[in-house]
Chains A and B, each alone.
Chain A
Amino acid sequence: MRPALATVGLALAAAAAGCARSKRYYSHVEVLRVAARRMERGTGLPRMLDVEVRYVDCPGTQTEVIRGGQDFARCFYERNRVGARVGVQIEHHPTRDGEWEWHVLSVGGCARPPDHNDEASFETVQECRDVFAYGQRIGFRCDRIPQRELLARCPWFRRR
């Protein structure tokens, strides 16, 4: 009896550990905006770069502003331009409070190690639709909690 219980316990623990493991994803984004922050004197190259991207493979309007340091800034500044469609590597991992978050590890072939002090990067995950009354468009509504279709195609947007 005891070995059986222990086996079940171990299996449950392993399953729980497996569920909460971080995972990496690869997707595509369109570069919407590139803004250099803090230029280096002499070379004129950015020391910090904000890149606003839109996830083109995901339904809805999913945009993210990604800030990167000097190496990322120089690499991205030289290789990519606004309007380009580039690859992006994402890490989806659990947080201490039981929720989930993601970090962009590279964009457009440029590595971007996340800095935990970064408060400038942010994302807007929403799916918008028009609101009609009696056939007339009267406004819009954007859902901020990811729906099933979005999570099926872009699972890193899951927060719970």
Chain B
Amino acid sequence: MKRGGWTWRRALPFAGWLAVLVALAAMWSSRNASAQHRAGRREGHHLRLRVHADGGLPEGEGEGEREGDVDAAVVAPANPAVDPSDAGVTGDGGDLHPIDYAVLVDGGGVPIHTEGAFRSPFAHPRFGRSVRVSVGLMLANVRDFDIQKGTFHADFFLSLTSRRPMPAMDLLLTNGNAEVRETIADTPTFKLYRFIGDFDTDVDIHDYPFDTQELSIEVEDDDNGIDQVRLVPDREHTALDVGFRVPGWETSFIEARSLNHYYPDRFEGDDLYYSRYVFRLGIRRYSTSAVFTVFFPAVVIVLISFLGLWLPREELEVRSNSTTPMLPAAVLFHYALIQSLPATGYLTRADKLMMAVYTCLGMHMVISWLWFVLPPRLGNKVHRWGLWIGAPLTVVLMVLGIRS
């Protein structure tokens, strides 16, 4: 009994020191895991993919340390009170990069996930339910819209709000470059950014000069697939700034959509979708300006030639002068119009109008030339029939050209 008591007294200090050592080891392991995770985030997905696919590790990472990450994250969650389904959100599962626990099925190639909905090494099956993130956008300014290049400069605020904590996000402007990217707020459930940058957009000039252009701003989270983050447009917080105007255009609509963006397979098992937020500003050319800069000159050109149809053969010189010079005038006018537009594989509305103008002018010239081709005795008939056929046909062609 006495001997047993002595044994317990000797063993207790050893047990105490052992516990301290275990605690220190756990802390050291956890710190390394966090440091490696942060470094991995900076490197980005593509670097990680390249290095791991080669079967090696990024510089500075040891095999043992990587295994330690797995143990620390899976066995010893940092916050045991949190629902395991939200493990990645709160930082424990988040410390572990998804590719770190993807497995090599055939001993080589692309590591994949055998659990969860996606095989991609960038999927995060241990993350739990994806976080629904409401995206608001307040467009402060748009300038330098170049319809020929399809570019514009925009200044906007982007807010991300969620009920549950978001994972670390790396927002990417997929159709532009941000000159300024200011983080105004960055909390787990609310983030606010300001972006200023240049963007590309598709241009549709089928209806030119009555065209409406859509200026798009596309945002995608570069780090997390839809198994972690789902971007949802927030109608209440999508707006244009007070006094917002795009010079030369009137604001037609604003639109926001979310879509699941799927990249064509970049590697084997690349099946992860990424949530993309798309904001569109619709701007419409002022119709008054369109009428006076395109339609009015075209109609005047045809009208001058049209009036020449009433002149008889005796006034052939005057008649020719009212028609022939209108053709180069129309060509120059058309040339000036298309200078400001991009090359297209289709005819714009203005092109169709100009086709009608060319046809009318050509017809008027042909009617005048008939006097030279046909015998003089038919001179009066040419004049009469030219007037009766040419005049209504001109009106019909121009109406068709304007309405096309």
Query: A and B: real partners?
Result: yes
Chain A interfacial positions (CB closer than 8 Å to B): 98, 119, 122, 124, 126, 128, 131, 138-145
A-chain residues with CB within 8 Å of residue B253 when the two chains form the complex: 141-145
B257 contact set on A, CB distance < 8 A? 131, 138-139
Interface centre among B256, B284, B288 (most CB of A within 10 A): B256
Of B83-91, B235-243, B395-403, the one with at least 4 CB within 8 A of chain A: B235-243
Q: Are B239 and A139 in contact (CB under 8 A)?
A: no
Whether A144 pairs with B258 at a CB distance below 8 angstroms is no
Q: Return B170 CB to nearest CB of chain A, in Å.
A: 23
Establish whether residues A145 and B256, one from each chain, have CB atoms under 8 Å apart when the complex forms.
no
A98 to B259, CA, bound (A): 41
- Does chain A have a CB within 8 A of B125? no
Interface of A is mostly: strand
Given contacts A131-B255, A142-B255, A145-B253, 12 further A-B contacts (CB under 8 A): A119-B243, A126-B254, A128-B235, A139-B257, A140-B235, A141-B253, A141-B254, A142-B254, A144-B251, A144-B252, A145-B252, A145-B284
Complex Cα gap A131–B257 (Å)? 8
Q: Kindly state the separation between the CA atoms of A138 and B250 in the bound complex, as whole angstroms.
A: 26
Question: Contacts A138-B258, A144-B251 known; A122 to B243 CB distance under 8 Å?
Answer: yes
Nearest CB in chain B to that of A142: its residue: B254
**B250 partner, pick from A122, A142, A145, beta carbons under 8 A:** A145
Residues of B249-286 contacting chain A, CB below 8 A: 250-259, 278, 282, 284
What are 6 contact pairs spanning A and B, CB under 8 A?
A124-B239, A138-B258, A139-B278, A141-B254, A144-B252, A145-B252
Q: Let me know if A139 and B284 touch, CB within 8 A.
A: no
B233 sits at the interface (CB 8 A): yes
Which residues from chain A contact B239 at a C-beta distance below 8 Å?
A: 124
By secondary structure, the B interface counts as: strand
* A141 and B284 in contact, given A122-B242, A124-B239 (Cβ under 8 angstroms): no
A124 to B139, alpha carbons, bound, how many Å? 14
Q: Which residue of A lies closest to B253 (CB)?
A: A143
The residue of chain A having its C-beta at the shortest distance from the C-beta of B278 within the complex is: A139
Complex: A131 Cα to B256 Cα, angstroms: 9
A122 to B245, CA, bound (A): 13
Q: Is the CB of A139 within 8 A of B255?
A: yes
Assembled-state Cα–Cα distance A140/B252 (Å): 14
Distance (Å) between the CB of A157 and the closest chain B CB? 14
Query: Among the interface residues A119, A126, A131, A144, which one has the most CB atoms of the partner chain B within 10 A?
Result: A144
Nearest opposing residue in chain B for A61, CB measure: B235
B233: contacting residue among A119, A124, A126, A140, CB under 8 A: A140
Q: Indicate if the CB atoms of A143 and B252 lie closer than 8 Å.
A: yes
Alpha-carbon separation in the docked complex, A108 to B368 (Å)? 73
Q: Nearest 4 CB-CB pairs, A to B?
A: A139-B257, A141-B255, A122-B242, A139-B233
Cα(A138)–Cα(B277), bound, Å: 10
| Assembly CA distance A17 to B212 (angstroms) | 32
- The interface residues of chain A lying within 8 Å CB-to-CB of B282 are 144
Residue of B nearest to A119 (CB): B243
